[in-house]
Chains A and B, each alone.
Chain A
Amino acid sequence: MNTIAIDRSPSEPRQFLCREEEHPRNGTLLGFWLYLMSDCFIFAALFACNAVLGTNYAGGPSARDVLDLHGLAVNTALLLVSSVTFGFAMLEMARRRNRAMLGWLAVSGVLAAVFVGLEIHEFVGMIAEGAGPDRSAFLSSFFTLVGTHGLHVTVGILWLIVLMVQLARHGLTEANRRRLYCLSMFWHFLDLVWVGVFSYVYLVGVLR
């Protein structure tokens, strides 16, 4: 037993190795990202509906008859450019150039508003032709999916208007910067969903 020597010298100061995981000081951006992921589920369910019901025309018009690909090209361009101009607004925010930032935000908002306007015009035209959401399962799923996306864009525009008023009044306070980051994620996310919509619902839809 005497071979075990325990060093009990008290002079050595005790040291602990503390390693703390870096954590975000502000959870809002992560929380908003989680919201966007939950939004993904909504769209995934609606895409699944469209995939299953997309050829159930019930003797009514097919996708090829009612979908307007030229209008779709215009809408796609509007949303893409709007996404990029929102990015420019974020760059101006980083440089703290308030006026330029508000300008780019306004451009993004107007482009998105034109997008929603054209979409409503398309919907109204289809309903007038007798190709409304009550006509067939294909049209129900089409209106639900594209309409849900359009509703998101509309809410995004309202949010943008409110935030622009806030920015004009109070400037780039920390709260406003945080809100702007959230809105920019929302904006880019909607453009990302639109890639799925125009590719699958429209372009693949007319070929099925």
Chain B
Amino acid sequence: MSHPSQAGHAHGAGAHDSHDGSEHAHDGSLRGYLTGFALAVILTVIPFWLVMGPVSLSHQTIILIVLGLAAVQIVVHMVFFLHLDTRSENGWNMLALIFTLVLVAIVLGASIWVMYNENANMMPMSPQYQHQKPGS
């Protein structure tokens, strides 16, 4: 079943029956899944290559690129596999997602920020434990 005909069906039927409206919003297409798969493979291979391959970049740069590509790949998964858009469930899916993202950003960002400062302001390590600290 091709995508346009589904969309036409869903919009054309004014009074659709009980499962029509909820169902078509979540259907994908073969092209969509394959596109998502190709993008996901590319976005996975690059970070693996950066970390495992002979790359002469600073660790800081690689970490930033890896995290950036992960964020892009998460969006790819949401669009092509979870079929998330602003219209599904009349936007409630998207609203719940945005709410979650805000809270997750607060949880992650604040934890890392607070604990980093906590660590930085700690008393220096006593000499007998100092040698156990692995070289970072």
Contacts and interface: CB of A to CB of B under 8 A. Distances in A.
Contacts of B47: 199, 203
Contact of B93 (A33, A57, A91, A204): A33
Contacts of B26: 29, 90, 181, 184-185
B113 to A, nearest CB: 10
A44 B82 CA distance: 19
Interface of A: 21-26, 29-30, 33-34, 37, 40-41, 44-45, 47-49, 51-52, 55, 57-59, 62, 69, 73, 76, 80, 83-84, 87-88, 90-91, 94-95, 174, 177-178, 181, 184-185, 188-189, 191-192, 195-196, 198-200, 203-204, 206-208
Interface in B43-88: 44, 47-48, 50-52, 59, 62-63, 66-67, 69-70, 73-74, 77-78, 81-82
Contacts, number: 149
Given A69-B51, A76-B44, A25 B89 contact: no
A185 B50 CA distance: 31
Contact of B19 (A25, A58, A80, A90): A25
Contacts of B37: 80, 84
A196 B100 contact: no
Contact of A181 (B21, B23, B96): B23
Interface string B18-35: 110111001111100110
A192 B82 contact: yes
Categorize the interface residue count of chain B.
Answer: 35 or more
Given A48-B108, A83-B81, A188-B82, A203 B19 contact: no
B121 interface: no
B7 interface: no
B17 to A, nearest CB: 8
